[in-house]
Every structure is written in C-alpha cells, then in structure tokens.
A = this chain, B = another copy of it.
Amino acid sequence: MSTPASDSEAVAAANAALYEALERGDLDAVAERWLDEDISVVHPGWPVISGRGEVMRSYALIMANTEYIQFFLTDVEVSVAGDTALVTCTENILSGGPAEADGSTGPLVGGLVVATNLFRRTAEGAWKLWSHHGSPVLVEREEGEDGGMGEENEGPGNGEGEGGGLTEIG
C-alpha cells in the first residue's frame, strides 16, 4: 500500500478524523476539519445552523454537555465528483452525560444516527467539511429487504410518538 491514497480513501480518512476529534472533545481539531465559510450543520433533532461561528458554538455546547462520546461508524459510503465528496454513514453512538450531583457517573446512552457529510477539496488539497446533517433513526429497517421500508411507514416524518431513536442502556 505504498501508492498514494485514492480520493475516496482521503475522503474517508477526513470523515473519520471528524469523529475522532469529537470523541476527544477537541474543539480546535473539529474546527480544523471544516471549511472557513458557507458551512452548515444539522445535529439530530435540531434546526439548521449556518455560519462558522454558530456551527462551532453548537459543537462547544454539545461538548460541554457530553462527558464522553464514542462513534462506531458503519455503512460508510463515499461518492466523489471532482472537488466535492459526499459521505453517508451510520453513527452508532455511545455517550454519557455529566456526572450526577452525588458524584456518580451520568447515564450511558446508545443512539443510532444517520449522517450525510459533504466535503470540498481545498486549494491545498485537503478535504474539509462543507455540511454535516445528522438525524435519529426512528423506524426499523425491514429484514431481508435490503433497505426497503416496512408497511408501517406512512409518509415523511411519521415518527410521531416513536421517541428519538435513543435507548438508555446503563
């Protein structure tokens, strides 16, 4: 593997680096993964947040309220077109909130989030984030249907009353 990484591999590495920075709670490293302008982010269940200042503030807020977080990425798909790349992936999240008042650790929460991550190649050749959109998975994928949806889906946004895709596990 001494050949230069392909575009797809470079994009996948940039994608992984975002999540590693989030796991470390390293806001500077997260900021380093993003383009300088015209960026936007949607965190699961949140409205759109636009502009570099607001995007970084949203990450700072999440970090302030997250004791730790781990991402296991699955279903990572990379599509490159010129200097733009689209990544979709499933974030299998294990996270914990701040410690309780009595000093015990906060609850562990496991969550399933799907993400669409958009990258652009900079003049320096680095792949940087232009947009991230994450959302909770509220409906089940039907077994053996290869992505087909079950009968229970009656239209867009029909997750009413089904909860936010998170299961408390500890």
Contact = CB atoms under 8 A, between A and B. Distances in A.
27 contacts: A38-B86, A42-B88, A42-B116, A44-B135, A45-B136, A45-B137, A45-B159, A45-B162, A47-B139, A47-B141, A48-B114, A62-B155, A65-B155, A66-B155, A81-B120, A82-B83, A93-B157, A111-B157, A116-B118, A134-B135, A136-B157, A136-B159, A158-B164, A158-B166, A159-B164, A159-B165, A159-B166
A138 interface: yes
Contacts of A102: none
A61 interface: yes
A86 B134 contact: no
Interface residues on A, range: 35 or more
Q: Name which of A84, A109, A135, A159 has the most chain B CB atoms within 10 A of its CB.
A: A135
A60 to B, nearest CB: 11
B44 A147 contact: no
Interface in A31-62: 38, 40, 42-50, 54, 57-58, 61-62
Q: How many copies does the complex hold?
A: 2
A148 interface: yes
Nearest to A137: B47
Interface string A73-109: 0010101011110101110010101000000000001
A7 to B, nearest CB: 13
A77 B90 contact: no
B161 A61 contact: no
Interface in A126-157: 130-131, 133-139, 141, 146-149, 153-157
Contact of A130 (B48, B86, B158): B86
